[in-house]
Structures are given as structure tokens and as C-alpha cells.
Amino acid sequence: MSFILNIFDSLKWLTGWEMILCALYLFVLLGYVFLKNNRWFYFIPGAGVIIAVISLICGDASILALLIYSSTAILFLFTVRRIFKPSVKPTSPKFRTFMVIVFVLGSLPTLLALTIAGEVRYNPVSDFSHKSYTQAFIAMNERLSAEYPFGDWKKVDWEAKRNKYEPLILQAEINQDSNLYYKTLRDYLFSFRDGHIQIVNEHLYDGNSTFKKEAGGGVGISVTQLDNGKVLVSLLVPGSPADKCGIKLGAEIITWDGKDVHKALDQTFWSENPPATEGVRIQNQGRFLARAPVGQDIQVKFQNLDNPAARTATLTAYDDQYETLKKTKVKLKKEDPPVEGQILKENYGYIKIRYFLPGTTQSDPAKVLEDTIKEFQEKHVKGIIIDLRNNPGGDDDLVAQMAGHFVNGKRIFEYVSYYNRNTGRFEINRAETRTVQPSRVYFSGKIAVLINHNTASSGEGLPLFLKGMPNVKIIGFTPTNGSFGVVSAPIEMKMPGGYVVQFPDGRSLNQDQKIQGDSDEHGQGGAIPDITVPMNEQTFKMKFIEGQDVELNYAYQELMNQSKAARELHPVAFGID
């Protein structure tokens, strides 16, 4: 019954042309069952082909449409002979039965399409590339005002955005300033604070002249801001200008380029992706503070840990091939398995989930996770640490499947809502409702989940789902990335200058059908840690100078504290008299 309801619900995602084609299929099926031999009847599949061609010319080449077109072609091929060689005799029952079977088999692509209609629906690419800068910007803002999934959630004032950015776009148009146009377009996109928004083809590290000109130089450091506001050097490249002038790892930066360091941080705007939350923004500013045009002199005032006297030096930015940026940005390798597990000290299980997709060396990560948990149970681990740090996401279905190992009852993982072009509203796609079913391998013990600001997209799904469970603690310096939107058939627009921009097209909703995971207008969102690890002088030293895994140490301590509390509360169960 649920399958049938999902099929009928999926009809709302069809275009008008697709609906007509589906109606034709139904009419033809009924015709073969009830109608007598009429020559006109065999022209209907041909009319379907014409309609399919019109739909394709109108731009609908979505997977949904292509599957429906396939059914149209199959039906036409099996009936076209009757158009040119009509039968003078009534069709026999055997022939009718045969054609009903052909129809049913030919309709299988359409039935498949209806089961996934919401995910693969037609979402046209807007081609504004032939328009002027200003016309394209206005058209983009107008489309997004209706279709961007988080406009209301982030309280986007569309008129205010237009008033802010249109004059700059117009200035770029008048002056034929492609750099100003690109940077303004980028600033507009980043203002949404959504990590799923991107200029698909901007290629920052490969031939982007604007980025190279403004941020192509480095001086050999990256910085991290502590909770108390201090800005310390967290990366130092040996032999770099910073190293040669005496800056050491852990040095406090007091002023940068003649400005108070906090003011300099606030004026840092470059980043690879839009920072959705405050945590991501602060981390990103630390990475890009020390980027500058190649050859630029930068005066810096600093104080090393081992010397209370502040010093001043002039650093000259050099072409470091973006070394500091690449060293502070995690990049997964193809050979990295999605899931790895091991037993660490004190008999605690550790599971690293790098991403939620099959890998080149691991085709079934869900099975690997199941086998790992089963092994942990056989060895009676005291608890499990699930490490989701730097997990960029993947497949929500896989996340929901893996979550089944940690629940003993059915639970909603997410509802998905898309903009419906027929009704002009956001509506839930019933067929895409994800539930977590209990797995046959169930772990009921203590769990610590490690997250950071790079835990993004589907990677945020597991901590969002597990948060609040009595046996689970979420641990991290910051919340997750705050970009949990759905990207099934992304909103895509071709802009002047050859830029292609993409936006997420769907919302993830919790069991109460409220948006979950995505940051709001204040940059608050993601999975919030139950235990926030402080970024202070001590943890900074442990993490960046001594190379310790601070978050993992906190997870150990939390699990041990829980075990101790359990022993004190139930001593007999632990064999204590």
C-alpha cells in the first residue's frame, strides 16, 4: 500500500508533458483490454512520441523524463506497424493479451521513474549567460527568491540583497570590470552561508587569475584563534619568510599588516567554500589571513612563547603554490577506505568513517561497519568512538542504514522537501522519506562521536540523528559544517563570464518536519557538541605543537567517566562488593 501511495504522490513532480504521456499509457492499456479494433487507436503511441519530442525540445532531459520517453518509444515501436498495415480482422484475445504484456513491460521504465520522481525531477538550468551582468544577476536573484530551499529559514531579504549587490554588478558592467563582477558574484553567493553553494567551474587552485593575484602569495604560516581571542601560529613552514624572521610555532600575532590582528581577520574574505557557521568562518579566516599578492610586504608584530618581548618583522609574500592552504585543508585519497575500525587502549573501539560512499578499495562500507561492530561485541569493548571529523558526506541512504546499528526501534531519519514547480510551494517527497531500521547487529553501549567544522553534508546526518540519545555524547571544538541541504537536482544557472553556479534544491526535515542541520541567518547550525572542547593555550599546545589528538583524548575521558559512574551506581553488576 505504501508503494502505491508513493507512486501516486510522485505524480506531482511530473511536468505537464510527462503527465500527458502517462495518461496516454493508461488509455492505451485500457484500450487493448476493452476497445475493438480501431485504426485510429494505433496513432496514439505516435502522438506520444511527438509529445516526447516537444518535451525534449523544451529542455526536459532529466532522468525522470528519459525513462518516460523510453516507455513511449517502446510502445510506439510495437504499434507502428498497425498504422501502415491495419488489420481488417478484429484483434484476437491472444493478440490483446500479448499487447497488454508488451504495454506493462514497456511501462516499467515509467514505473521506475515514478519511484524516484522527486529526486530526478526536471529542474531546468537557467541560461543567463547571454544577458548583461545586471540582467543576469536580477534574474538569478528572482529565481532564488522562489526556489532556494532555505530562504525563509535564513530569513533572506531578497530585495535587500538586490539593493546591496546590484550597484556593484552595474559598476562592473559599465566599467567592463570582469574581476569586480566575479568577486561581487562570489560575495553574493557566499552571503547565503551555505556550504553547498558553489561556482562549479571557478577552479581556485588551477588557473583562477583573480585568486592567484590576490591570494597566491604566502609567508609560511597559518593561524588559529583561541576562545579568549588570542591569535596563535598553528602552522609554520620551515625556511619560509616567517620562519627566517624568527616566528615560531605557537607565537601570538598581535598586529598584521599594520592593523590589529582581529580587524585583519575580519577583513579576510577569501575561502574555498561559503562558511556556513561561525566556527567555519573563524577557522577559515585563520587559514587565509596570511595570504597576499606575491611580492607584497607585510609588517607583523608577534610574540613567541619563550620570549615575552614583542617583535616586529616585515614579511614578503612569495609564490608557495598555495602550500599553507593545502596543508590546512583535508583532502581524501581514492585509496582511503570509507570505514576503518580498530581497538585502542583500555579496550575501547574506534571507528573512522571518512565518507558515506563506496570506495575504490571498499565496495560495501555498511558491511564493514557491521563486521567491525560485531568484532567489538565479541571482544567486549567498553565503548565505541565514532570519528566523523573531516567527513564531507555522501549518501543519506547509507547513513540511515549505518545508523541502524545504534537503535533498537524504527525511527525517522529525515523527510525531504523540494520546490514543486507545478504548485509553487515546497512539498515533501513521500518516496524519499528515510527511516532507520534496527540492524541485527545492535550496539547499546556508550558511544562518543567526534565532529569538527569539516563534518559536512551527509556526514552531519549521523551526529544529528544520534544526538540526544542517553548513551551518546557528541564531542568537538565546533559544531559540524551546517550544510545539510539536499542536492538531488541542484538549482543551476549559467552566468555571464562562463560561470556556472549551483544551489542545493532540497531541505532535510526532522521527525517533526522542521529543517534540520542547516545554519540559520546568524551562522548557527549543524550538530552541536554535547561536550565542546575548549580552544585554549593548553589544548592549542597539545594539538598544534605536541601533535596530540585532543578530541580523541576527550572522548576517552568521557567514556571512562561514564564507565566509572556506572560502576558506582551499579557496583554489583560490575562485580564490586
pLDDT band at 38 (very low <50, low <70, confident <90, very high): low
**For 447-505, what is each residue's pLDDT tens digit?**
999 999 999 999 999 999 999 999 999 999 999 999 999 999 999 999 999 999 999 99
What is the model's pLDDT at position 571? Answer: 47
Predicted confidence (pLDDT) at residue 573 exceeds the cutoff of 50: no
CB hemisphere CA count around 206 (13 angstroms): 4
Share of the chain above pLDDT 90, in %: 79
Predicted TM-score (pTM) of this structure: 0.90
What is the model's pLDDT at position 576? Answer: 38
What is the model's pLDDT at position 114? Answer: 87
User: Which of 330, 332, 327 is CA-nearest to residue 235?
Assistant: 327
Mean pLDDT of 76-80: 78
Pairwise CA distance, residues 56 & 22, whole Å: 16
Choose from 334-338, 344-348, 389-393 the range with maximum mean pLDDT: 389-393
What is the model's pLDDT at position 574? Answer: 36
**CA angle at residue 569 from 565 to 570, to 5 degrees?**
115
Query: Contact, 451 vs 479, CB < 8 A?
Result: yes
Q: What is the CA radius of gyration of the chain?
A: 29
Share of the chain above pLDDT 70, in %: 91
What is the model's pLDDT at position 572? Answer: 42
What is the model's pLDDT at position 3? Answer: 74
What is the model's pLDDT at position 196? Answer: 97
Predicted confidence (pLDDT) at residue 412 exceeds the cutoff of 60: yes
What is the model's pLDDT at position 518? Answer: 97
| Cell digits of residue 491 | 538549482
Predicted confidence (pLDDT) at residue 37 exceeds the cutoff of 80: no
Mean pLDDT of 73-96: 69
Predicted confidence (pLDDT) at residue 98 exceeds the cutoff of 90: no
**For 257-285, what is each residue's pLDDT tens digit?**
999 999 999 999 899 999 999 999 999 99
Helix (H) or strand (E) holding 297: strand 297-303
Predicted confidence (pLDDT) at residue 39 exceeds the cutoff of 80: no
571 vs 46, residue with greater confidence: 46
- Helical ranges in 426-499 per DSSP H: 461-466
Q: At what angle do helices 108-115 and 16-34 cross, to 10 degrees?
A: 140
96-104's contacts with Cβ under 8 Å and 24+ in sequence apart are: 96/32, 96/33, 99/32, 100/29, 100/32, 100/33, 102/74, 102/75, 102/78, 103/25, 103/28, 103/29, 103/32, 103/75, 104/29
486 vs 361, residue with greater confidence: 486
**For 303-325, what is each residue's pLDDT tens digit?**
999 988 999 999 999 999 999 99
CB hemisphere CA count around 168 (13 angstroms): 16
- Helical ranges in 150-207 per DSSP H: 158-175, 178-190
What is the model's pLDDT at position 330? Answer: 85
Q: How many helices (H) and strands (E) does the chain have?
A: 19, 23
What is the model's pLDDT at position 86? Answer: 58
Predicted confidence (pLDDT) at residue 568 exceeds the cutoff of 60: no
82 vs 525, residue with greater confidence: 525
Q: 416 has which bridge partners? A: 508
**For 519-552, what is each residue's pLDDT tens digit?**
999 999 999 999 999 999 999 999 999 999 999 9
Query: Contact, 329 vs 272, CB < 8 A?
Result: yes
What is the model's pLDDT at position 85? Answer: 66
Q: How far, in Å, are 220, 228, 234, 254, 534 from residue 309 at the CA level?
A: 22, 20, 20, 12, 27
pLDDT band at 83 (very low <50, low <70, confident <90, very high): low
> Each residue of 389-419: b (16+ CB within 10 Å) or e?
bbbbbbebebbbbbbbbbbeeeebbbbbbbb
**For 111-139, what is each residue's pLDDT tens digit?**
888 889 999 999 999 999 999 999 999 99
Pairwise CA distance, residues 498 & 108, whole Å: 39
| Cell digits of residue 339 | 570505514
| Cell digits of residue 200 | 562549479
Query: Contact, 494 vs 127, CB < 8 A?
Result: yes
Which residue shows C-alpha cell 544557472?
A: 493
Mean pLDDT of 402-425: 96
Query: Contact, 109 vs 71, CB < 8 A?
Result: yes
Q: DSSP 3-state assignment of 125?
A: coil
Average pLDDT, the chain: 91
